[in-house]
Structure formats: structure tokens, C-alpha cells
């Protein structure tokens, strides 16, 4: 079994600011699952990627 994570961290989040993570299942191939993720601070996107 292997794992690949492709993640881009694009902005910092100040201490105390809330972070929201959204994950969406975008593909299923036999037993392989592909997820798209997006993390946001209260002001902007702080990270995106795929797992």
C-alpha cells in the first residue's frame, strides 16, 4: 500500500484564527480513493491539495 499527498501551503494563519478544512471525494478506482482538500483561514485560502 502506498500514499501520495500533493499539498500547497499558500498563506499563514495568525494564532487564534479559526481554520476550516473541506475535503471532497473526487474519484474512486477499484480500492483507490482520491480526495481534493481546501483549508481556509477566516480571511483567505491557506492550503489546497490532493490525497
Average pLDDT over the chain, rounded to whole? Answer: 93
The whole model's pTM is what? 0.76
* pLDDT of the residue at 34: 94
Share of residues in the chain with pLDDT > 70 (%): 98
Strand extents, DSSP E, the chain: 6-9, 20-29, 32-40, 45-50
- Predicted confidence (pLDDT) at residue 3 exceeds the cutoff of 90: no
Grid cell 479559526 in the structure block, residue:
18
Find, among 48, 19, 18, 20, the residue nearest to 35 by Cα: 48
Q: How many CB atoms lie within 10 A of CB 45?
A: 12
- Predicted confidence (pLDDT) at residue 11 exceeds the cutoff of 80: yes
Task: Using only the alpha carbons of the chain, give its radius of gyration.
Answer: 13
Amino acid at each position: 500500500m502506498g500514499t501520495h499527498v500533493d499539498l500547497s501551503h499558500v498563506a499563514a494563519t495568525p494564532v487564534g484564527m479559526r481554520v476550516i478544512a473541506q475535503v471532497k471525494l473526487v474519484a474512486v478506482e477499484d480500492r483507490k480513493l482520491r480526495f481534493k482538500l481546501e483549508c481556509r483561514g477566516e480571511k483567505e485560502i491557506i492550503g489546497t491539495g490532493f490525497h
